[in-house]
Copies of this chain bind each other. A is one copy, B any other.
Amino acid sequence: MSLGIIIVTHTPEMAEGLARLLRHIAKNVPVTFAGGNSMGQIGTSMSQVQLAVNTNEATELLAFYDFGSARRNVELASAFSAKPIHLYDVALVEGAHTAAVSLQAGVDRAGLDKQLLALQVKA
């Protein structure tokens, strides 16, 4: 079992830029992302989320998203995925950053979940 991170946002640039930052600070943590809809416009796309899930080399994923419809697409992708996907209703950038730093340092998911509680800002 290995843990990876997926990022899902409403613009391609946000997901790409956040993934770039996470890969920089946590070189051993697999990070993949889906940003924008299928046309690269504002929105999200279930098939792009599936691609982020399938191309992530980890066997279990932590998902961070910006807004509601991104969350729904992660839930849909999760229903069709063999990999367990844990969805975090936390501040996107700050939560994903905390997760990347912690996973890189070898913190397990129970330990990480405790840290992320303080960043919970979504329903």
Q: Contacts A93-B66, A94-B122 hold; do A13 and B20 have CB atoms under 8 A apart? A: yes
How many identical subunits does the complex contain? Answer: 2
Interface membership of chain A positions 109-123, coded 1 if the CB is closer than 8 angstroms to chain B and 0 otherwise: 000000000110110
Interface readout for A16-28 with B: 1 if CB under 8 Å, 0 if not?
A: 1110110010000
Contact with B along A73-108 (1 / 0, CB 8 A): 000000000000000000111100100000000000
Alpha-carbon distance between A119 and B123 when the two chains are bound, in angstroms: 12
Q: Give 15 pairs: A residue, B residue, CB < 8 Å, sorted on A.
A: A11-B21, A13-B14, A13-B20, A14-B93, A15-B17, A16-B17, A17-B35, A21-B42, A91-B91, A91-B92, A91-B119, A91-B121, A92-B92, A92-B93, A121-B121
